[in-house]
Amino acid sequence: MAAEPENTFMKSIRSARDIGVLGSIAIGVSVTVGVGVYDLLGLLMTNYGARSLARPYLLLVLIALPLIVTYAERGRIFSRGDGVYSLVFRGRWLWSTFFADWGLLGGYVALLALLGWGAGQHLLLALQLFGVRPPYQVLAIFAIGLVAAGNFLGFKRNWRRRSWIAGVAVLMLLVLTVRGFLTKPAMAPPPSFYVPLSAPPLLVVGELSAALWGIPILLSVRSQMGRRSQSMRPALLISVGAAGLLGAMASWALVKYNGVNYAVYAPLLIFTVENGASPSPLLQTLYITFGFLINFLAIDRVLIDVLHLIDHMTNDGFIPKTPKRFRSERGMHGWSLLAVFTATGALFYTVKLLTLVGLTANFFFLITILIHASDLFEETPNILARRTRLPFHPLFPAVTIAASVLMLLGAPWRHLLILLVWIGVGAFFYQGYARKQGHAKRRQEAVLEEEPFDSYLDQSRKAV
């Protein structure tokens, strides 16, 4: 299928040099650890208690195993593409392609909002040291806007520096957790701190699953990974395993420490306290700084992916083209950036925080189902059945779909209602615009593919 030429911005992303295994792990960890530990540990501990988190973190890794296997295999088969959307088997059924892209679009916006909240919370912790406490929504929008401005102005990316930031952020969590295990409690905790609250484990795991967005985000750069067929699966395992193990260890340390909740959304700051007196300024500054930076890196990657997705959906005829006036020198679509920024900002004022977490996780399971089920609607034998190296095909994709359905069924009905509303809006948009324009685009591309042969025939007739 012929495609429209990419703009300069997308070419610059695509033509970047190989990021290597460490660079790809840094991308995965920025989401799995950034969301799963830096952002969600304090929030879920506040709602469910520290004792009720260690097991869900380990269960998260267990549930993620079949997803890692099938996503990695899919990334190997569709290794030439960029972005998560290229993992979808694009056959004759237009609607399956559209809804996979539509689900990705909603999931990216929700994930972007959650990461913006995480970055905003760490900014708030820094500002509180100076007695300033602005609303978290303002700081979250500021963090996302800062990344968006950098992308629009064309700031260059240094993969080695990003790998160092992600590595130090993980090391920071490990250092504080070990301090928590070794430090003697300084004071007795309030009873509610160590008494587990009643929460179904499936619900807690479901909300922690927002961190699993690191799997597709990591695969979105698979074409830039050196020796990608050998490195994808280990990179995914390390990214998800790091989040699960660090989260479980931190939860155990918080219970064992029996300390007071120093900061509601950053409980590990209690481990920076020295001799039961005041917190260490160095450790406190490092934790806040790298907590912000790891969210900052994840926001940048997600923003690139969502803009790439919008560019692709435009080329497929699913959404209208944006005017060419408002573009950066590198060809970045300013209107697309503004639309994503507005939608993300609206979530901060319309959706509760815990609902946003659940919504982000539910979008992940929805797109997992849509991506892995898309080839089931095509004629057999398809490309996956012919090229897969997984034994007992389609056992692993079926387990992945079943696990995703199970996690969706365990979600609160309010979260599922928002998901259904998004799907309903997509169905309305598909019938009203995307279906007609998408088929027209496919017919146009089919004509363009036949054009060279037709031109040859015309020239032959003229020569005769």
User: Do the beta carbons of residue 422 and residue 106 sit within 8 Å?
Assistant: yes
Cis amide bond preceding 394, omega within 30: yes
| Token pair for 225 | 């990974």
Contact partners, residue 240, CB within 8 Å, separation at least 6: 28, 32, 60, 61, 64, 68, 211, 212, 214, 215
pTM of the model: 0.86
- CA distance readout (Å), 171 to 58, 174, 176, 286, 373: 19, 5, 9, 11, 38
- Cβ(111)–Cβ(340) below 8 Å: no
- The whole-number average pLDDT for the span 94-122 is 91
**In this predicted structure, what is the pLDDT of residue 194?**
44
Residue 403 and residue 69 in contact, taking contact as beta carbons nearer than 8 Å: no
Handedness of CA 157, 159, 165, 170 (dihedral sign): positive
What confidence score (pLDDT) does residue 454 get?
45
Instruction: Lowest mean pLDDT of 110-114, 174-178, 371-375, name the range.
Output: 371-375
Return mean pLDDT, the chain: 80
pLDDT in tens, 306-341: 888 888 888 888 888 766 555 555 556 677 788 888
User: Which range (198-202, 293-297, 432-436) has the least confidence?
Assistant: 198-202
State the average pLDDT over residues 33-43. Answer: 93
CB atoms within 10 A of CB 308: 23
Among 299, 1, 260, residue whose Cα is nearest residue 123: 299
Does the pLDDT of residue 87 top 80, yes or no?
no
Mean pLDDT of the 430-451 span:
77
Mean pLDDT (whole number) for 121-129:
89
Where b means 16+ CB within 10 Å and e means fewer, 428-460 reads eebeeebbeebeebeeebeeeeeeeeeeeeeee
